[in-house]
Amino acid sequence: MTEDTFRSVAIERTSLGNYVVRNSRGGSVSLGTGEDSSFTPVELLLAAIGGCTAVDVDHITSRRAEPTEFAVAVTGDKIRDEAGGNRMRNLRVEFTVTFPEGAEGDAARAALPRSLQQSHDRLCTVSRTVELGTPVAIAEGPGTTGD
């Protein structure tokens, strides 16, 4: 792994079922079980999928025109079954994007479908990882004690 490929976050427990997630740049987000306003892990997964595609689409279309509306809704069903355990299915990312009238807005509107497809097919690391599937290793870190 190199500095340009390595990504990480640190999660610290603040109380039972409550955590703070921090990135290396100093950003943080509250994480919890859904008993308060903190995001649940599943909500963060949905946010990551939608956010990743939103960044791609925004960068591509905004070169042509600044959107007058840019909203993303991400949905899915959380299921449990004996064969696959807990997981999400029927994931859907829906964009509502409008651009101003005129040549620049027309160019941005024309670029929108292709930018959505490019993000889905190759640009969005998060949705590509979910769709292709990547093993997740779980391990005890140094200093962990089970005493």
For the chain, give every domain's residue range.
1-39, 40-132
Residue 129 has pLDDT above 70, yes or no: yes
Q: What is the largest CA-CA distance in the chain?
A: 68
Instruction: Give pLDDT tens digits for 45-54.
Output: 999 999 999 9
Closest CA to 11 of 37, 35, 38, 36: 38
Rounded distance, CA 31 to CA 28, Å? 10
Instruction: Compute the residue count for the chain.
Output: 147
Question: What's the start-to-end Cα distance of the chain, in Å?
Answer: 33
As a whole number, the mean pLDDT across the chain is 95
User: What's the DSSP call for residue 130?
Assistant: H
Residue 143 has pLDDT above 90, yes or no: no
- Please report the pLDDT score of residue 145 as a whole number: 78
Instruction: Give pLDDT tens digits for 70-125.
Output: 999 999 999 998 888 999 999 999 999 999 999 999 999 999 999 999 999 999 99
CATH superfamily of domain region 40-132: K homology (KH) domain (3.30.300.20)
